[in-house]
Chains A and B, each alone.
Chain A
């Protein structure tokens, strides 16, 4: 059943939901593009970020958007340490071992959260949680609009870091040619850890933008992890613009898929497009040739 008056709000819903996906995928695409690893712990780390935002709000009344100031550096430090001390050491540079290490990490994080934070679902009620913005007849919540702005900003900042800084150049060098980078004196381990740190910093930002519009529970990571991978592959691994566009695309496809095929079967649209892109253009919409 497709009423025309739903189309416009559905498009906006898709786009703003897609922005949230893009935010979550930005961190993943960097890690994926540079370290070429599939980080199974991405969802659990997002959950950890969401809990941080939740507790900051609950105990110290820190507004989620103000919490950005704590979450971004905090998650960066966590990411740097994790890559340096756990993932880098445990994986011995083997893909299959990275997979197991990040899988182990996700099991640990999820269950520690379950033990210490409890299994219940938490949410925060801010003054603007349910405030609405009207855009040409479609109602959107303020947090969703803010998340869209956040996604665009994060994407721009990442792009600047990659294009304009020495760090960015080093990261790009390593992504392209690991051995060569080592030979010209780049500290590969350090850059790996920096990439992972920046990836998690993005995730921290994502957590700040997501919580006012959503909820957190120890299981919440699973809600977003598959869709984040989809976005990354669609957009092309390592491409920030790709993630942004991929996120929007997934959001919109999901939205219209749900409208046309029903919310349950509608999920299939995203996966079919995902498979098609992988088959016919495996480098993604914005990626370089593999």
Chain B
């Protein structure tokens, strides 16, 4: 491992250790829930980041992987009585398989840029319509999992149970991102993002690299779906496959900084804070607070075109610090 890889690994470990200690200091259930939801969004963003940030393939349809995970959890529990912890593994595999299938189709035919974005959107819609149709998935009625509190059922009585579960998922995501930063596969993926033809000329198997990225990304996204179902216990086709989830995932990743290890996390926490602040500020006119949220989004993009991570990095540069400080690796 290079020194910089070790350094950023240490940084990740330190960050996770701090996050693991955090609940001990938080008395407020509201803020604990806030952290859980921000981490959950960050996990979706990290999944998107693997394909979109590191690989430069912008997907508008990540909800399809999320939905596959959510429905895997719900269907396996409700129809087959399988323990939800087991469904987590199943969802990971199915999400990856869905990614591989969509990737094999779209990358085989060389779709890139906005074409790729729109084809993923269309796939997500196909999944939504299918889930809406078949009795097996509860059709339009959706699926509700039984209320059975207990850690063994992935329905924690204490919020900290959900906190540590989602923190573990985020930790795994950080390790994946770290690995992409410092592995050969990650280097290939970045090369594909920068210039596909050049990468090919250097002997990179572009198709297989992209396929690997979308498979990994889909599998990660699907675990987010399982977490959602366990936390809120109900899923229906628009919740699972609607554009809302896709947008949430790409939003936090882009706002935070694409292709960086901590980008999705920073994006998720910042946007959650912005949303919270705007509602607190003008909570009596909720529509205005949403509009303010949109305005702040535009302002952020205008003044931090390279994401918050990019902004932090250039701030650090201006302060005369070495660019490697912090999490911009």
Interface set of A (CB-CB < 8 Å, partner B): 32, 36, 38, 86, 89-92, 94-97, 99-101, 103-108, 110-112, 114-115, 226, 229-230, 233, 237, 264-265, 267-268, 271-272, 274-275, 278-280, 282, 290
Contacts and interface: CB of A to CB of B under 8 A. Distances in A.
Contact of B298 (A104, A110, A112): A104
A95 to B, nearest CB: 7
Contacts of A100: 251, 254-255, 297-298, 301
B58 to A, nearest CB: 7
Interface string B86-129: 00000000000000000001100111011101110111011001
Interface string B51-83: 000000010100000000000000000000000
B291 A112 contact: yes
B129 A271 contact: yes
12 contacts: A97-B305, A101-B302, A105-B298, A111-B288, A230-B122, A233-B118, A265-B132, A267-B129, A268-B130, A271-B125, A278-B111, A282-B109
A108 B122 contact: no
B260 to A, nearest CB: 13
A95 B113 contact: yes
Given A92-B305, A100-B297, A101-B301, A279 B105 contact: yes
Given A226-B125, A278-B111, 20 more contacts: A95-B113, A97-B305, A100-B251, A100-B298, A103-B297, A106-B294, A107-B291, A107-B293, A111-B294, A112-B288, A112-B291, A115-B291, A229-B118, A233-B118, A237-B114, A267-B129, A278-B119, A279-B105, A282-B109, A282-B111
Contacts of B247: 103
A278 B123 CA distance: 11
A218 to B, nearest CB: 8
A107 B58 contact: no
B252 to A, nearest CB: 11
Interface of B: 58, 60, 105-106, 109-111, 113-115, 117-119, 121-123, 125-126, 129-130, 132-133, 140, 243, 247, 250-251, 254-255, 258, 285, 287-288, 290-291, 293-295, 297-298, 301-302, 305
Nearest to B285: A115
B130 A275 contact: no
B106 A107 contact: no
A268 B288 contact: no
A95 B58 contact: yes
B254 A99 contact: yes
A107 B299 CA distance: 13
B118 A103 contact: no
Given A90-B302, A115-B288, A108 B121 contact: no
B305 A105 contact: no
Contacts of A280: 109
Contact of A268 (B58, B110, B129): B129
A279 B119 contact: yes
A274 B290 contact: no
Contact of B114 (A36, A111, A230, A274): A36
Nearest to A284: B115
A32 B255 CA distance: 23
B254 A104 contact: no
B122 A278 contact: yes
Contacts of B113: 36, 95
B131 to A, nearest CB: 11
Given A90-B302, A107-B291, A282 B129 contact: no
Nearest to B58: A96
A226 B298 contact: no
Contacts of A233: 115, 118
B40 to A, nearest CB: 20
A107 B118 contact: no
Contact of A90 (B106, B290, B301): B301
Contacts of B60: 38
Given A278-B118, A278-B122, A279-B105, A105 B132 contact: no
